[in-house]
Amino acid sequence: MKSPEKVKKYIVDWLKEYIINSKQNGFVVGVSGGVDSAVTSTLCALTKCPVYVIEMPIHQDKNQISRSKHHIEWLVSNYKNVNPISHSLTKTFDTFKDEIKKTNLKLDLLTLANTRARLRMATLYYFAGSNKCIVAGTGNKIEDFGVGFYTKYGDGGVDISPIADLLKSEVFSLASHLNIIQSILIAKPTDGLWDDGRTDEDQMGASYKELEEAMDLIEKKISDNSLTKNQNMVRKIFQNLNSQNKHKMIPIPLCKIPKGFL
């Protein structure tokens, strides 16, 4: 396990250097009430650069809203450079949904869930552009490079990814070190894109701890014969998700015209 203090200092220094080189003013971070956005927004705050933390509920569960608000209050009370913004996108989403219904096409629930993330991305970039800031992503290593558990051009649409090299367990360890509020530390991880309150584990079919282990076993090329039944099952889940979502984790295909092509 990486030292939380060393990781904190390394990421904060990296963020400071990036801002200087980019000639931008600060950071914009979407805050959801989850541990990833709580850690990312706190690390950005530690740079002492301006940080705009934005809550963007869309038919959000009241517990998620409560955690998000409490975290923002905690940030504002501890860091003078933090600027809180609350911008409900519920009416925007409902208007979009109503317009889609007019086409007489069947509503696709997964696509609608991803639409929520894309509306939030557009909102983050509005505030980033208007304040000359960059959007800091909140994805961790398992989500961004393991199973691709994020929305393409939604929460995957960011300028930088401060915690993308940290496993979920390492994010939680860093969160404890940063004194993130307890309600966030004990909450079950969720992307908050569904009305039924399904968790990340419900959607992926395995816990982050299990997926981390599967990722490690694959990297070490451990044979199937030496694994337990559950380890084999989770490894297959990991591999299937990785395969399905590979298009998110690689550069978009380019049609390159050969030189001398007539």
Residue numbers of the domain that contains 107: 4-203
Look at phi and psi of residue 111 and say left if phi exceeds 0, alpha if psi is from -120 to 50, else beta: alpha
Residue 228, in any domain of the structure: no
* Choice between 163 and 222, residue whose per-residue pLDDT is larger: 163
Residue 97 sits in a domain whose CATH number is 3.40.50.620
Residue 256, in any domain of the structure: no
Q: What is the mean pLDDT of the chain?
A: 95
- In Å, the largest CA–CA distance within the chain is 64
Write down the pLDDT at residue 105.
Answer: 83
Write down the pLDDT at residue 1.
Answer: 60
CB 82 within 8 A of CB 58: no
pLDDT band at 240 (very low <50, low <70, confident <90, very high): very high
Domain count, the chain: 1
Is the pLDDT at 200 greater than 80? The verdict is yes
Residue 222, in any domain of the structure: no
Q: For residue range 21-68, list pLDDT tens digits in order.
A: 999 999 999 999 999 999 999 999 999 999 999 999 999 999 999 999
Is the pLDDT at 238 greater than 90? The verdict is yes
Residue 259, in any domain of the structure: no
pTM: 0.95
Q: For residue range 81-130, list pLDDT tens digits in order.
A: 999 999 999 999 999 999 999 998 889 999 999 999 999 999 999 999 99
Residue 238, in any domain of the structure: no
Sheet holding 26-30, edge to edge: 82-86, 51-55, 26-30, 133-135
